[in-house]
Amino acid sequence: MFATTVEEESVEYDDDEPMTLTEFQQSVHRMLGADLPMGEAFRLSRWQFQARQAGRYRDGRILLAGDAAHLLPATGAALNLGMLDAVNLAWKLAADIRGGAPSGLLDTYETERRYAGERALLQTRAQVALRRGTDPAADALREVVQELLADEQPARRLGALIAGADLRYPGSDPHPLTGTFVTDLTLQTGQGTTSVAALLHRARPILLVRADRADLREAAAGWLDRVDIRTAGTEQRPTDALLIRPDGHIAWAAAIDEPADTAVPRLHQALSEWFGDPTPPITPQNDTEVPGVAR
Ligand SMILES: Cc1cc2nc3c(=O)[nH]c(=O)nc-3n(C[C@H](O)[C@H](O)[C@H](O)COP(=O)(O)OP(=O)(O)OC[C@H]3O[C@@H](n4cnc5c(N)ncnc54)[C@H](O)[C@@H]3O)c2cc1C
């Protein structure tokens, strides 16, 4: 059903066969050109170069995540990638099971996370290319990359690529922040200081709005049963408001001083696109209380 993989590289032996001491000794001999004295092995297992991705992540009620969906050729990224698959899928599955999820919500899991898998394959393949070469050209490449990484900007960029934090998921909202992973801003609220990460502990969507944008708070009243509306200020003030999905990706943003004429229709569209149709509007009360969040 999911058998189509985009590719499979350098499979040299039968992975189902257990590794024996003899095979291990032969491998060492091949690499070193000499035999090493060895006693009984405590544990032997295989690590195999693989760069593979499932052709599809979803077939009806079956969804692939983690190593079932992708295998990377370099270590250090696979666990993160798999956990972010799970975080992306969990809130969409929950919405679907609870009922009222917008149509096509579960399909966005495949679109978004297959793209994330492609990016992870890109960067892990690049790591392999950096590690594998043994000639002067490969040494030169490593030296150039090392020089670049001494500067803060390229180091940050590469760090975000490896962490999967540089993704911008496709979506209909045109604001440049939409689809990106939210920055963990420090927030000043009426109840004290908190942060975006702390608010996300509840795994619910959050509409963060500056105090002077009551128009945007009121515009979201029809979604109060599914979306926590929080009034907060930040020192940086990147926007007037952010709609954040439970997985930390931004679903909508209002530009600074953006008029309600343009901001509200886009907000309604984003709320419906990600969290379903509004229930009959409720007059907004005070901000939702957040249990367990330091204020
Ligand atoms: C030696 C090694 C070193 C690694 N180092 C790193 C590292 O430094 N950093 C990093 O990010 N990643 C690393 N990885 C990769 C990382 O461990 C995996 O990406 C991660 O564990 C995948 O998690 P998963 O939940 O998708 O799959 P798994 O951890 O494989 O979990 C799948 C689970 O499903 C169970 N299962 C299978 N079939 C069935 C069935 N039919 N019914 C019920 N249960 C079933 C399995 O027993 C298993 O418990 C390393 C992997 C290896 C092997």
* pLDDT tens per residue, range 126-147: 999 998 888 999 999 999 999 9
Distance CA 141, CA 197 (A): 38
Mean pLDDT of 209-218: 94
Band of pLDDT at residue 101, cut at 50, 70 and 90? very high
76 lines ligand 1 (CB under 6 A): yes
User: What CATH code would you report for 52-163?
Assistant: 3.50.50.60
Atom of ligand 1 nearest to the CA of 65: 26
Q: Name the residue with the closest Cα to ligand 1, atom 26.
A: 66
* pLDDT tens per residue, range 106-124: 999 999 999 999 999 999 9
* pLDDT tens per residue, range 166-183: 999 987 788 999 999 999
Same fold for the pair 52-163 and 180-275: no
Least Cα distance to 86 among 105, 109, 58, 70 occurs for 109
**Contact in structure between 23 and 46 (CB atoms under 8 Å):** no
pLDDT of residue 170: 85
User: Rounded to the nearest whole angstrom, what is the distance from the C-alpha of residue 67 to the centroid of ligand 1?
Assistant: 6
Band of pLDDT at residue 48, cut at 50, 70 and 90? confident
Mutation pick for ligand 1 pocket among 50, 72, 79, 124 (CB with most ligand atoms within 8 Å):
79
79 lines ligand 1 (CB under 6 A): yes
Atom of ligand 1 nearest to the CA of 77: 11
82 lines ligand 1 (CB under 6 A): yes
pLDDT for residue 3 is more than 60: no
Domains of the chain, residue spans: 1-48, 52-163, 180-275
pLDDT of residue 283: 55
Stretch among 14-23, 56-65, 124-133, 174-183 having the lowest mean pLDDT: 14-23
User: Rounded to the nearest whole angstrom, what is the distance from the C-alpha of residue 82 to the centroid of ligand 1?
Assistant: 9
Band of pLDDT at residue 295, cut at 50, 70 and 90? very low
| Span 180-275 CATH architecture | 3-Layer(aba) Sandwich (3.40)
pLDDT for residue 202 is more than 90: yes
- Half-sphere exposure (Cβ direction) of 195: Cα atoms closer than 13 Å: 9
Residue whose structure tokens are 């960029």: 157
Average pLDDT, the chain: 88
163 lines ligand 1 (CB under 6 A): no
66 lines ligand 1 (CB under 6 A): yes
* pLDDT tens per residue, range 75-95: 788 999 999 999 999 999 999
pLDDT of residue 273: 95
Tokens of residue 221, six digits: 């009243």
55 Rama sector, left if φ>0, alpha if ψ -120 to 50, beta otherwise: alpha
67 lines ligand 1 (CB under 6 A): yes
